[in-house]
Amino acid sequence: MILVRYLQDWYGDAALDYTQAWQLQRDLHADRVADRIGDTVLLLEHPPVYTAGRRTEPHERPQDGTPVVDVDRGGKITFHGPGQLVGYPIVKLPGHVLVVDYVRRIEEALIRALADQGLATGRVPGRSGVWLPESAGRPERKIAAIGIRVSRGVAMHGFSLNCDVDLDWYDRFVPCGIADAGVTSLDREVGRDLRPSDVAPSAITHLDDLLTWRTYEPSPDIERVQHASVPLLQP
């Protein structure tokens, strides 16, 4: 069995600055490309920071002058901060695993970890990440974001899962470039406080399973509400 090493010394007051984590990723990525190390996953929290992937549009950025770190991952702008479990898998993809399959495996690990906490989530076709369906007057809402980069066959960057994060941080920008949906957190959905360090063990269990690259049964997509169109009144 392939063994994955997990490094997770950066929760709470020990949260790791984003630029330091990015450099650590680059160092580990170079080591993994050269086979000096095996697959490694960083699990941590960051102090508050906005990061923008390559597809971020100018109007999606904060309009109040809040600094943004431009990074070399896919996806758009997102927020990282206290109360969010951030994971950076530095893993070598087998030849039969396409990038989209890798992203789906990370999503699946998070869907299963959230199920362990009593929360049913899933995917939305055409959108990356992990979602809750529209319900009780609340829109579809994203609970986990994913943005990766694969270079020389090795992945870096990864995911962020909102555990007990302050959602007010999301009011300053268009999260992941999606203006017609909401953002949520685990504590808000289940009604109890769950810190990143509380959720990490489940995430590790399911990442261990999905990163063996065995065939797996994906969770179903969330059921989307079909809204009836309203006919225009004729004069």
Active-site positions read 176
Strands 5-10 and 77-80 come out as unpaired
End-to-end CA distance of the chain: 70
- Smallest CA-to-CA distance from 141 within 101, 103, 102, 188 is with 188
Secondary structure (DSSP) of 1-57: ----EEEEEE-GGGPPPHHHHHHHHHHHHHHHHTTSS--EEEEE--SSEEEE-TT--
| Contact assessment for residue 167 and residue 184, using Cβ atoms and an 8 Å cutoff | yes
**Distance, CA of 189 to CA of 168 (rounded, Å):** 16
